[in-house]
Structure 1
Amino acid sequence: MKNTIAERVADFLKRFPPFELLKSDELLKIAEEVQILYKQKDSVIFEQGEPGHHQFYVVHKGAVSIQRKENDNTETLDKCDEGDVFGLRPIFAKENYLISAIADEECILYAISIENFQPIIQQNYRVGEFLIESFASNTRNPYSREHRGRLYAEGEPKQEVAPELFQLQPVNFVKNIISCTKNTPVTEVAKQMSKNNVGSVLVVENDLPIGVVTDKDIRNTIAIGLFPIDVDVEKVMSSPVICYSKGLTIAQAHVAMMKHKISHICITKDGTPNSKVLGIVSEHDILVSQGNNPAALMKAIKRAKKTKTLKAIRSRVMHLLNGYLQQNIPMTHVSKIMFELNDATIKRVIERSIKKMKTPPPVKFAWMSLGSQGRKEQLLHTDQDNAIVFEDVPEEKLEETKAYFLKLAKIANKSLNNIGYEYCPADMMAKNPDYTLSLTEWKHQFTEWITHPGDDEILLCSIFFDYDISYGNPALTNQLSDIIFDLTENNSLFINTLASSALRSPSPLGFFRQFLVEANGEHKDFFNLKKRALMPITDAARVLILQHKIKNINNTAERYEKLAALEPENRELYLSCSYSVKALLKFRTKQGLLHNDTGKFIELETLSKEEKIKLKRCFKSVSDVQELLKLRFKITPYL
């Protein structure tokens, strides 16, 4: 008679390493001897200092927290999820546990006898290698700023990319290097630069790069009189040199220059300053290259004279975004680049729309991008959310002035739609008379929303509080910010209502941490990432930053980083939220590119086990920050 329980255990184990490496008969034999354990939330599986057990563990359902205690501080090293292996110390070291394992929530574990598993480790090198790596890898903390995931790499394997995707091609570097020593007078260096028609000279010592001097360095030091012209170049050079190895892509070079605020990168044999110099890359080298790099796209956007041209450029921007994701470029840099390209597109549309009007704007105005673009988080083609604020005018000129801006907005909204930005289903766009208002009208509107915070008013505030000026006079939007903060200051009713609204989004996970997917409709069995994860963590950041009266920080990740500085006691939570926001945006972007839509819904079948684990860890941050809201504002979520 078949042992159906053992077969079910084997079917589960074979989905995960290292059990996937076992033969069917080996796996079934292990499964027959597995002990199935149920643990309630916060129950101890083993404690730091406790003698090693005769078994190690695999998480079947739920989650386990791996912790280490030093003095009076307890640090969470890792969170083990479905399929994760832990408690391996007794296999490799006859010592007491150096860490503790605590049930993070109710869970079911498979306990596997070490004695029965030892022969498999000895016979199967790959299984043993995996377990040794797992044993050594105890720092997979998603809250860490360092590269995470020694057991499972954070990034995906690089995919083949089309040759025309220029920014992913290796950067061309100058091999004929002009160099000098640190004691060379600047006057001699300047002569070398002039003679060889170059903008930089590499400073070397024992054939190793120790600095770089550029024409900008000379302007900023010698030309303004900080040093005499014959001073040693050591005094004015930039050091240390940022080095990379051969094979650096144009995208990576561009991001590195942005990150380090430099204009030159040194190419060395091993990518460090401790090996032979192969060449040098300048910002100019990248800019003069042809292709879909950000600088070339920005230049094309500013020169575009037709909507169809902007639409074509937009498809190249999406191509660039896809390449960045494949190369695993950090989302912080990707978001900034994509925001600037999106913002430049909007600016160009407004400029062209004004030219289509018979007369120039009658008064100063500002075009505001709302929602995700206002938070600098819009990476994909999403629907438009925008508004206009214009200077106050005499009562008799108000209707005429508003009519002008409504006509302008209609042209701009249509052009954006033609480019690929869908119309807002709720009509929250500048062409709607409700959202093109004078400064005083906006003040009255915000006063109404904030002093009478019903469901609709809170929804509007959550959209209109996240705005960024895309075109026009910033003094107008600054005054709007002052109005909002004046109205919300000491307004506990509004803040509490806003906090309560942030708790409305349903939990991302159900019983035993299963994804709660759509039960019916067009997206049946898909996971609503926007509603269940991005919205609640975004809403929480908004209300918390508003409570602290912090202006001009609209980006959600940046809001959490600011909160981490303001509230040191909650630093770990806020930094985990910042990390989670970036990860969730990356999930959404990848799904949007996969399905050619907004990425709102995730097809779970397209995710790997590692991606599902990472997604669930992000949900932990959502849950934790919602708990903070409940305690701080003494409210309960809507059921």
Structure 2
Amino acid sequence: MKNEIVHRVYDFLKDYPPFTLLTPADLMSLSAQVVVRFIPKNQLLFSIGENPGSYFYVVHTGAIHLSQEDGSLVDQCDEGDVFGLRPLLAKSPYLLRAEAAENTLLYAIPTATFSPLLAQNPAISTYLISNFAAGIGAMYHASGAEVSDAALPASDYLTELLPLPTDRRKPVTGTPELSIRQAAQRMAQEGVGSLLICNENNFPVGILTDKDLRNKVVGGNIRMEQPVTDLMSSPVLCVREGLALAQLQLMMMKNKIRHLAITQDGTPDSAVLGVISEHDLVIQQTQNPAVFSKEINRKSSTVADLRRIREQIDGLMERYLQQEVSIPLVLEIVSELNDQIIQKCVTQAAEEAGYSEAAHGTFCWLALGSEGRQEQILRTDQDSALVYEPVEDDAKTKEVYLNLAKKTVDYLHEVGFDYCPANMMASNSDWCQTLTNWKHTFRKWIHQPGETEVLMTTIFFDFRAIYGDKSLAEALSAHIIACLARDEVYLHMLARNAVQNPPPLSFFRNFIVEKNGDHQHEFDIKARAMMPLADAARLLLLAHKHMPPPSTLRRFEKLKELEPQHAELYQLAADAYEILVRLRALNGQRNKDSGRYFNPDELDKMMRLSLRNSFQPIAEIQKLIKIRFQLTGILA
């Protein structure tokens, strides 16, 4: 018999991160363990200094105020907000008090059930770390403690993606010969919360923290006269310089620690350069992904709000590119935020279209093109599809899904994503189909390939599940691989397509530009340079009967693993693609467009050289394709 309470919990959680990242089966299992709690207005849920229990919380209805000891409000948590993460992430006493601002219904999530899911899903870890850090950062902002304008410039967003500054004072260290008392006195004199214990080579062999002193000396059985080696934690988790704040937060969370040592090579077998604490990370932050995510996912967020947030994300990307933040990291964060905007639009559209799973079955919204490949730094036009598994395959059901898709596409247009000029959108009846019909379409494209069919696969085979029943997308991927196992003609034609654009330099090493049209004398970086690499990566993985990972960069990483004899070439191709993504994004920001076209004569010498160098892997990888698929002599 169906458990109504469990299903109500499931139906609520599935619409809010990080639970949106769980599989339906895992979420249903988790929902069965959730405890429903009612907190009357003005009642405390937990206090400052209280040890966390075995739950963290999600607000179902009502509101929770998180405040400091002096009563200053740090944050208000309302419907769908996650809070009280310390029992899951930090294992330390609460730093804020939680009080019901009105009659509030909470879902208490058991950490014992959730922790294994956290370990299996890095995306959930990243989200929760960002959310946790945002809360800590807000607390420090509210208090003003040790936070200067220089440390927290108000104009910077998502600073946890930037490398942590290393211009801090020399680390405080001690030797293994110290007693615990001497080590504690040294920490007090220097005003630090940790002491690195180093050997004669200045290699870290252990770390002593103020928490160790409180818990194991003051509250335990260890005596102050004992050697520091009896109390210190060992080995020390070490990192190299230059890691992003988000990476450091992730390491702390996964290892349940609050300090990291910086060493010359990132291992304990090299000299200490510094130490990073959880507090260091906090005071480097002003806003982070959780801030944007929280705004996107508020139930009250309107399409106008989403447009404003997306414009802020554009500004954020501009700063990242100027500061030369790693392109893979930039792509990952903008893709995740775009996904959440799409999810929000689909959710609202589904409600307005009268969709219900019981009446209409399950569906999955698919991103195609650059969004499907997680490569959309700049806002370009929409490319999408919808696959559904109906309860009844009839015209009425199709009408509901088309209506849902049309509303979603319109909402995304209002947010700032242009309509696709070629109508490659889920609102097109051809691209809103049942799983059975999609399988038939894909099978036809593979077994009866012409130029049009091959072109379609270069668009649609880059699909990525964004919202809904992701098992439908997985079924499509498995179907594609099954079809490829019985057909080599399609791969041959896909190979011909992949080499149709040779390296874009003339005999005299000038850029090949457009000869006519609106962009005459301009260079098309997408068609001439980026797509040859993207097409090559897709082709080579499909030939291995592997469904390509989302991004072109990850595809080349997979190819390095599958073909170690060509690892150097694939690395060069990945490096070239990263350069091209950055150049296109910079050009788009400069010209306030998609960045696809630009005049080579306007590039400075360094950019021209970088662009030229990125063409060499195109020539080499196309040579490999011609040989492997026996195209030599067919295409020059």
Structure 1 CA distance for aligned equivalents of residues 630 and 279 of structure 2: 53
Report the residue type matching 1:431 in the other structure: S
Asked whether the equivalents of residues 163 and 245 of structure 2 are also in contact (C-alpha less than 8 Å), the reply is: no
- TM-score, scaled relative to structure 1: 0.62
Q: Does 1:476 align with 2:472?
A: yes
Corresponding residue number in structure 2 for 1:253: 245
Q: Does 1:352 align with 2:348?
A: yes
Report the residue type matching 2:246 in the other structure: H
| Aligned with 1:299 (options 282, 294, 303) | 294
Runs of 5+ in structure 1 lacking a partner?
1-160, 223-227, 245-250
Greater Cα offset, 504-513 or 175-184: 175-184
SS at match of 1:426: coil
Corresponding residue number in structure 2 for 1:388: 386
1:602, CA displacement in angstroms? 2.4
Corresponding residue number in structure 2 for 1:165: 156
1:504, CA displacement in angstroms? 2.0
Corresponding residue number in structure 1 for 2:417: 421
- TM-score, scaled relative to structure 2: 0.63
Alpha carbon RMSD of aligned pairs, Å?
Answer: 4.3
1:501, CA displacement in angstroms? 1.2
Structure 1 residues 402-427: Cα deviation after superposition (integer angstroms, max 9, x where no partner): 21111111111111111111111110
1:477, CA displacement in angstroms? 0.7
| Aligned with 2:429 (options 419, 433, 437) | 433
Structure 2 CA distance for aligned equivalents of residues 557 and 169 of structure 1: 21
Report the residue type matching 1:523 in the other structure: H
Structure 2 CA distance for aligned equivalents of residues 416 and 393 of structure 1: 28
Structure 1 CA distance for aligned equivalents of residues 494 and 163 of structure 2: 47
The structure-2 alpha-carbon separation of the partners of 1:401 and 1:515, relative to structure 1 and needing over 3 Å to count, comes to: same
| Aligned with 1:210 (options 204, 207, 216) | 204
Asked whether the equivalents of residues 557 and 570 of structure 2 are also in contact (C-alpha less than 8 Å), the reply is: yes
Structure 1 residues 37-88: Cα deviation after superposition (integer angstroms, max 9, x where no partner): xxxxxxxxxxxxxxxxxxxxxxxxxxxxxxxxxxxxxxxxxxxxxxxxxxxx
1:354, CA displacement in angstroms? 2.4
Corresponding residue number in structure 1 for 2:447: 451
1:386, CA displacement in angstroms? 0.7
Asked whether the equivalents of residues 322 and 593 of structure 1 are also in contact (C-alpha less than 8 Å), the reply is: yes
Corresponding residue number in structure 2 for 1:596: 592
SS at match of 2:467: strand
Asked whether the equivalents of residues 537 and 581 of structure 1 are also in contact (C-alpha less than 8 Å), the reply is: yes
Asked whether the equivalents of residues 238 and 262 of structure 2 are also in contact (C-alpha less than 8 Å), the reply is: no
Q: Does 1:312 align with 2:308?
A: yes
Structure 1 residues 504-534: Cα deviation after superposition (integer angstroms, max 9, x where no partner): 2254111211001123333232100011111
1:233, CA displacement in angstroms? 5.2
Report the residue type matching 2:204 in the other structure: I
The structure-2 alpha-carbon separation of the partners of 1:239 and 1:212, relative to structure 1 and needing over 3 Å to count, comes to: same
Asked whether the equivalents of residues 174 and 196 of structure 2 are also in contact (C-alpha less than 8 Å), the reply is: yes
The structure-2 alpha-carbon separation of the partners of 1:516 and 1:359, relative to structure 1 and needing over 3 Å to count, comes to: closer
Structure 1 residues 546-566: Cα deviation after superposition (integer angstroms, max 9, x where no partner): 000113513112111211221
| Aligned with 1:325 (options 321, 326, 336) | 321
Structure 2 CA distance for aligned equivalents of residues 184 and 332 of structure 1: 45
Greater Cα offset, 169-178 or 527-536: 169-178
Structure 1 residues 163-185: Cα deviation after superposition (integer angstroms, max 9, x where no partner): 62343798799999999987999
Corresponding residue number in structure 1 for 2:546: 550
Corresponding residue number in structure 2 for 1:136: none
Q: Does 1:509 align with 2:505?
A: yes
1:617, CA displacement in angstroms? 1.3
Corresponding residue number in structure 2 for 1:8: none
Asked whether the equivalents of residues 362 and 390 of structure 2 are also in contact (C-alpha less than 8 Å), the reply is: no
The structure-2 alpha-carbon separation of the partners of 1:177 and 1:629, relative to structure 1 and needing over 3 Å to count, comes to: closer
The structure-2 alpha-carbon separation of the partners of 1:302 and 1:184, relative to structure 1 and needing over 3 Å to count, comes to: farther
Report the residue type matching 1:459 in the other structure: L
- Fraction of identical pairs, as percent: 33
Structure 2 CA distance for aligned equivalents of residues 606 and 290 of structure 1: 36
SS at match of 2:398: helix
The structure-2 alpha-carbon separation of the partners of 1:467 and 1:171, relative to structure 1 and needing over 3 Å to count, comes to: same
Structure 1 CA distance for aligned equivalents of residues 280 and 153 of structure 2: 25
Asked whether the equivalents of residues 370 and 387 of structure 1 are also in contact (C-alpha less than 8 Å), the reply is: yes
Report the residue type matching 2:156 in the other structure: L
1:569, CA displacement in angstroms? 2.3
| Aligned with 1:489 (options 485, 493, 502) | 485
Greater Cα offset, 593-602 or 499-508: 499-508
1:446, CA displacement in angstroms? 0.8
The structure-2 alpha-carbon separation of the partners of 1:637 and 1:348, relative to structure 1 and needing over 3 Å to count, comes to: farther
The structure-2 alpha-carbon separation of the partners of 1:390 and 1:173, relative to structure 1 and needing over 3 Å to count, comes to: farther
Report the residue type matching 1:419 in the other structure: V
Structure 1 residues 91-135: Cα deviation after superposition (integer angstroms, max 9, x where no partner): xxxxxxxxxxxxxxxxxxxxxxxxxxxxxxxxxxxxxxxxxxxxx
SS at match of 1:513: coil
Asked whether the equivalents of residues 355 and 400 of structure 2 are also in contact (C-alpha less than 8 Å), the reply is: no
Runs of 5+ in structure 2 lacking a partner?
1-151, 217-221, 223-227
Structure 1 residues 169-216: Cα deviation after superposition (integer angstroms, max 9, x where no partner): 987999999999879999xx99xx9xxxx9x8553448979378799x
Asked whether the equivalents of residues 210 and 239 of structure 1 are also in contact (C-alpha less than 8 Å), the reply is: no
Greater Cα offset, 173-182 or 377-386: 173-182
Structure 2 CA distance for aligned equivalents of residues 410 and 183 of structure 1: 72
Asked whether the equivalents of residues 580 and 611 of structure 2 are also in contact (C-alpha less than 8 Å), the reply is: yes
Could you say which structure has the larger radius of gyration?
1
1:265, CA displacement in angstroms? 5.7
Alignment of 1:7-406 (within 5 A): 164-166=155-157, 167=159, 201=194, 203-205=196-198, 210=204, 232=230, 234-235=232-233, 238-242=236-240, 252-254=244-246, 257=249, 274=271, 280-282=276-278, 285-286=281-282, 289-291=285-287, 293-303=288-298, 305-361=301-357, 362-395=360-393, 398-406=394-402
Structure 2 CA distance for aligned equivalents of residues 629 and 276 of structure 1: 47
Structure 2 CA distance for aligned equivalents of residues 325 and 413 of structure 1: 29
Q: Does 1:630 align with 2:613?
A: no
Asked whether the equivalents of residues 185 and 233 of structure 1 are also in contact (C-alpha less than 8 Å), the reply is: no
SS at match of 2:238: coil
Structure 1 CA distance for aligned equivalents of residues 560 and 263 of structure 2: 38
Asked whether the equivalents of residues 499 and 629 of structure 1 are also in contact (C-alpha less than 8 Å), the reply is: yes
